């Protein structure tokens, strides 16, 4: 009896584990999605490409999925969150820069006049970036981002910006990874702004974050190697920049891509033009009460041409209001 017990104990643990595993598999992997077309399209696609022996089967290493960030994984209103970081930084540094009080767009940022700020041209906005980040080492910059990400609050919700991520999209990331996908961010935002927090918030490690970049120089300071940001943008990871960045960083064509604006159109075109099963998704911001509602004429996250192409080509368009049970994780309670 004793020996029977001894041998059967591991077997029992194994059975319990198997039971737990099968329960986990049976549970709905996308609980925050309504049972509408987008959820069905996601599940159908994942089942097709992961079913061994099926015509559409894709080996795990080729299961690359790319996600835009601003407006696709987290909110982007009333201003892009990376801009909120820069603007917070300017307000923080303002006391040491009296000359900013009369100089636009600094003056508008300091005074909170977002209308003037957002009307400024790209060059003026670039000046803000340069003023706050040039001359800084990559490590100093990363530390500022880390501090900001656990402290700065959104003006409307009073929540951390990193809490204003989309619960349904986080479930989608998890679901894809549970099915052997490698998930990447491919965003117009600065990669160095995202990497300090994407692993914790999205489960996406720094090396799978592709983004825009500042010009940077390597140098020895008192024999210690540092990398220093220079005044200037090196690469803008938006529109045609997205497939180019995918080519440069990932080196394979994604089989799934998710975005929310015209800046994601070329990434979706590139993804869906490959052979075999492909999946393209656009988050359509239709929920003015839980989030924001905007599309064809919005200066932020404009969704116009990409929406037409999505309809024409049968890409999945998420109607945030109708397709998502909750928007943010903090609504779940």
Footprint of a second copy (CB under 8 A): 4, 7-8, 10-11, 14, 61, 64, 138, 182, 184, 191-192, 195, 199, 205-209, 213, 216-218, 220, 224-225, 227, 240, 243-244, 247-252, 266, 269-270, 273
CB neighbours of residue 111 within 10 Å:
12
Minimum CB distance to a second copy smaller for 98 or for 251: 251
Smallest gap from residue 191 Cβ to a second copy (A): 6
Minimum CB distance to a second copy smaller for 214 or for 320: 214
Minimum CB distance to a second copy smaller for 207 or for 331: 207
Smallest gap from residue 243 Cβ to a second copy (A): 5
Closest CA to 92 of 142, 147, 137: 147
Smallest gap from residue 273 Cβ to a second copy (A): 5
Smallest gap from residue 171 Cβ to a second copy (A): 22
Q: Tell me the H-state helices in 134-240.
A: 138-149, 167-178, 191-202
Minimum CB distance to a second copy smaller for 77 or for 162: 162
Smallest gap from residue 11 Cβ to a second copy (A): 5
Minimum CB distance to a second copy smaller for 108 or for 191: 191
Smallest gap from residue 26 Cβ to a second copy (A): 23
Q: CA-CA distance, 239 to 245, in Å (whole number)? A: 10
Please tell me what DSSP assigns to residue 300.
S
Q: CA-CA distance, 204 to 195, in Å (whole number)? A: 9
Minimum CB distance to a second copy smaller for 116 or for 240: 240
Instruction: Name the packing angle between helices 122-133 and 81-93 (round to 10°).
Output: 60
Q: CA-CA distance, 291 to 294, in Å (whole number)? A: 10
CB neighbours of residue 254 within 10 Å:
29
Is residue 141 within 8 Å of residue 308, measured between CB atoms?
no
């Amino acid at each position: 009896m004793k020996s029977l017990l001894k041998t059967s104990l591991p077997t029992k643990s194994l059975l319990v584990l198997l039971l737990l595993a099968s329960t986990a598999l049976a549970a709905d992997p996308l609980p925050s999605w309504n049972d509408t077309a987008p959820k069905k399209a996601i599940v159908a696609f994942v089942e097709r490409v992961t079913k061994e022996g099926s015509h559409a089967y894709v080996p795990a290493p080729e299961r690359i999925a790319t996600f835009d960030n601003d407006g696709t994984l987290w909110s982007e209103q009333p201003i892009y969150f990376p801009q909120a970081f820069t603007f917070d930084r300017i307000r923080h540094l303002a006391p040491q820069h009296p000359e900013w009080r009369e100089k636009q767009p600094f003056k508008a940022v300091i005074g909170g006049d977002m209308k003037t700020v957002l009307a400024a041209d790209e060059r003026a906005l670039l000046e803000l970036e340069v003023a706050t980040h040039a001359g800084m080492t990559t490590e100093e910059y990363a530390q500022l981002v880390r501090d900001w990400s656990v402290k700065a609050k959104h003006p409307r919700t009073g929540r951390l910006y990193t809490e204003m991520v989309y619960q349904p999209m986080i479930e989608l990331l998890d679901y894809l990874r549970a099915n052997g996908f490698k998930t990447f961010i491919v965003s117009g935002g600065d990669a160095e702004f995202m990497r300090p927090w994407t692993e914790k918030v999205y489960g996406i490690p720094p090396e799978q974050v592709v983004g825009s970049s500042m010009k940077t120089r390597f140098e020895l300071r008192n024999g210690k190697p540092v990398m220093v940001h220079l005044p200037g943008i090196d690469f803008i990871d938006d529109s045609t920049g997205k497939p180019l960045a995918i080519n440069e960083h990932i080196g394979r064509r994604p089989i799934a891509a998710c975005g929310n604006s015209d800046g994601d159109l070329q990434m979706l075109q590139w993804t869906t033009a490959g052979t075999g099963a492909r999946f393209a998704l656009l988050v359509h911001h239709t929920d003015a009460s839980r989030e924001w509602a905007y599309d064809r004429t919005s200066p932020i996250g404009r969704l116009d041409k990409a929406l037409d192409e999505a309809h024409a080509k049968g890409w999945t368009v998420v109607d945030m209001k109708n397709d998502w049970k909750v928007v943010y994780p903090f609504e779940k309670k």
